[in-house]
Structure 1
Amino acid sequence: MIDQFPLTWIPPADETLRAPVRAFLREVLGSRSPATRARSWMEFDASFSRALAEQGWLGLTLPREYGGGGRSPFARFVLVEELLAAGAPVSAHWIADRQSGPLIARYGTSAQKAFYLPRICAAEAFFCIGMSEPNAGSDLASVRTRAERTGNGWRLSGRKIWTTNADRSHFMIALVRTSGTPEDRHRGLSQVIVDLFAPGVHIAPIEDLAGDRHFSEVTFDDVQLADDALIGTEGAGWEQVTAELAFERSGPERIYSSVVLLEEWLRTLRVAGLAGNEVARSDRRALGALIAELSTLRELSLSVTGRLAHGASPATEAALVKDLGTSFEQSIPAVIADALGARPFQRPDGDLADTLAYVTKVAPSYSLRGGTREILRGMIARGLGLR
């Protein structure tokens, strides 16, 4: 398995993107509290997404003829690093840019590419993904939502759950069963594009522990889809969704969800040091361990990005990075809380306390979104030939 993660470097042409992105973010975002910046993944701001699109930074990897940047996955890697480090509100365009657009570019018809890709690149079309279902979770092979052929298209019935931004998106790419039964597992699955404003689509937001309502349950009551709603080949949905999940699971977003909190803790330790207060050896040791792990995970993520740049579909490697990355992200608030708890009579900085409180609430979701830890480890085991 080691030889599947060759050392990889960001090409200089893509690294040069970093400076203008940083300058843009400083100008557009201004001063934001760390607790606000920590919401980067979940903060929906269509105007920010449009501003990013005006810079030509949405759809960086999509073909130029459809409004994309025609650049390599390394360019998007640089962009995502800077967006998350700045705590930019990326939620509106996130899924369309990261996976829906590349999926359509790879499997879509000429008409689908011409319609959807320019709108994605202009931040005029936001997507959500319909994979998980009630009583199924991340076991995608047990999908029950069904699309049946009609005289002029498809009739869609079923439910999806934990669908991020369904109530704010224009379209969903749904994994559905077009033949067979759930007992057939992978066989008979297909992907369709659903207009979320179509009659029969009902969206019910779900409030989470942090008080946010970015998840939804979506019900399809005999929704009529056009014949061209199908993406790719009927019955090839499992192969397609596996390729899609490689885009979803491989990027730096799987290691940087808690990076604003880590940065804020580092800032408070520096302030303490500059004020002449000795930083505890245990804090230095814990901080060093986190940074060393982050550096290693970044190299793994870069390696997977390199394989994507060469046209591979590294599903197993992406699942491994996602599993390791989310474990790391979840450890950050725990480590910092333990460090602060070791000195209960020293009141933590207000920004640090607020950021820690928020990240602690949302961190359990890190190992759920994009596939649960248990499902991922099953995939990894199969990829290694262990089951």
Structure 2
Amino acid sequence: MVANSREAHAVQDITLSFESARIPPEDEALRGPVRRFLAEALRGMPPALRARSWMGFDADFSRALARQGWLGLTLPTRYGGAGRSAFARFVLSEELLAAGAPVSAHWIADRQTAPLILRYGSEAQRERFLPAIARGEMFFSIGMSEPDTGSDLAGVRTRALRSDTGWVLRGRKIWTTNAHRTPYMCALVRTSGTPQDRHKGLSQMLVDLSLPGITVRPLLDITGDRHFCEVLFDDVALPADALIGQEGSGWEQVTAELAFERSGPERLLSSMVLADTWLAHLRTLPAVDAATLATLGRLASRTAVLRAMSLGIAARLERGEQPVLAASFVKDLGTEFEQAVPLWVAQALDHSDGAAVPPALLQTLAYLTQIQPSFSLRGGTRQILRGIIARGLGLR
């Protein structure tokens, strides 16, 4: 079938978005110091705990990173950042996640809230929040999803109505990771119109979670952790400067923000501690069978391809572009890979020749087997992402 011109142009765009990119030497040089820091900071931490990585909340660890100058790497120096490139942050993120560092405290603020405020916030907001984020003193949660809308962000019902002093916030959010531990939330809300208006009338607010009228309910997940919360807003009075950017520009802003959330190494490295623990076990064996070798090859090849795609997006972010479509593609493929790794490892262990499996490996596998269904939910469900991809390719 011959594609129409719109489809052909879109396919060309998606191909070009995955350009070959190399990490500049000055940014690659960051890898050594980070590895040495992590070797000391994570000494003795069992793999089942390290496997939690960007769900592991440790404010002291985040502040230790900040003292090294490794938070706010891409922020301008005038706001307390290091003024480094997107490649520098890629190197840092890759090392943190591969090692299983507990990055959850600062992750959202550093990865997406800070770039959002830098781009769309007022100067007063930049001066107030960005240096605090870079020092590891200000952490954020995200208020996007809602109980009745899920990943359909255009259907947001939580409302912020104008008042004499600013805004009155009503509604609720869910999937708000660490809302019970963070002082602020960056929330997508409706400031005009109705959910039927879809993208129109949406805005973003910086919400102080200590304000009266806010209830945060941590929820227990299948692994026994409490990082996922429901947050209720009952006529919460927000100041006028809670608004980020222009009223009604929330859809444009949140779309740009999601490109940061969906494109990084965290979309392919969530199961890497398990892979490394399994490899360490295999090295103790006198030999491995052909099926295990095939699994190792599959793991290595897919990691290499996904990493190259993610690096290509880092290059586009460095140029100031908004690779929303490409980021959605990487997120979909990356989370599919992350979910597959525990299954591959379990199958390989099932077909082993009766060699004793270390308890640490089994514990790590058990945790990731339980939590891996969430990988394709966080940052947008697979169905939503594939709709975005199809629309971007002119297929719907």
TM-score interval for Structure 1 and Structure 2 normalised by the shorter chain = over 0.9
RMSD value, Cα: 0.9
- The aligned runs of 1:189-204 (5 Å cut-off) are 189-204=202-217
Structure-1 residue corresponding to 2:366: 357
Between the aligned partners of 2:165 and 2:32, the Cα distance in structure 1 is 51
Larger mean Cα displacement after TM superposition, 186-195 or 263-272: 263-272
Between the aligned partners of 2:335 and 2:304, the Cα distance in structure 1 is 14
Structure-2 residue corresponding to 1:155: 168
Between the aligned partners of 1:346 and 1:278, the Cα distance in structure 2 is 11
- The aligned runs of 1:42-53 (5 Å cut-off) are 42-53=55-66
What TM-score results when the alignment is normalised by the length of structure 1?
Answer: 0.98
Q: State the 1:91 CA deviation.
A: 0.5
1:305-342 Cα shifts (integer Å, max 9, x gaps):
10000010000000000000000000000011111112
The alignment partner of 1:271 has SS state of coil
Between the aligned partners of 2:38 and 2:338, the Cα distance in structure 1 is 23
- The aligned runs of 1:122-201 (5 Å cut-off) are 122-201=135-214
Q: Residue type of the partner of 1:240?
A: Q
Q: State the 1:350 CA deviation.
A: 1.3
Structure-1 residue corresponding to 2:307: 298
Structure-1 residue corresponding to 2:20: 7
The alignment partner of 2:38 has SS state of helix
Paired residues, number: 383
What TM-score results when the alignment is normalised by the length of structure 2?
Answer: 0.96
Between the aligned partners of 1:8 and 1:159, the Cα distance in structure 2 is 41
Structure-2 residue corresponding to 1:229: 242
1:101-146 Cα shifts (integer Å, max 9, x gaps):
1100000000000000011001111000000001110000000000
- 4+ runs of 1 displaced by more than 4 Å? none
Structure-1 residue corresponding to 2:268: 255
Structure-1 residue corresponding to 2:10: none
The alignment partner of 1:147 has SS state of strand
Q: State the 1:33 CA deviation.
A: 1.2
Between the aligned partners of 1:320 and 1:363, the Cα distance in structure 2 is 19
Q: Percent identity?
A: 62
Q: State the 1:266 CA deviation.
A: 1.1
Question: Are 2:344 and 1:335 equivalent residues in the alignment?
Answer: yes
Match of 1:79 among 92, 95, 111: 92
Q: State the 1:27 CA deviation.
A: 2.0
Between the aligned partners of 1:225 and 1:239, the Cα distance in structure 2 is 22
Question: Are 2:296 and 1:283 equivalent residues in the alignment?
Answer: no
Q: State the 1:41 CA deviation.
A: 1.3
Q: Residue type of the partner of 1:295?
A: A
Q: State the 1:343 CA deviation.
A: 3.7
Q: Describe the shift of the 1:20–1:151 C-alpha distance in structure 2 as closer, same or farther (beyond 3 A).
A: same
The alignment partner of 2:55 has SS state of coil
Structure-2 residue corresponding to 1:215: 228
Q: State the 1:248 CA deviation.
A: 0.4
Q: Residue type of the partner of 1:105?
A: L
Between the aligned partners of 2:50 and 2:344, the Cα distance in structure 1 is 20
Between the aligned partners of 2:118 and 2:16, the Cα distance in structure 1 is 29
Match of 1:205 among 202, 218, 221: 218
Larger mean Cα displacement after TM superposition, 231-240 or 27-36: 27-36
Question: Are 2:396 and 1:383 equivalent residues in the alignment?
Answer: no
Between the aligned partners of 1:38 and 1:44, the Cα distance in structure 2 is 12
- The aligned runs of 1:112-127 (5 Å cut-off) are 112-127=125-140
Q: State the 1:344 CA deviation.
A: 7.8
Q: State the 1:345 CA deviation.
A: 4.2
Larger mean Cα displacement after TM superposition, 376-385 or 137-146: 376-385
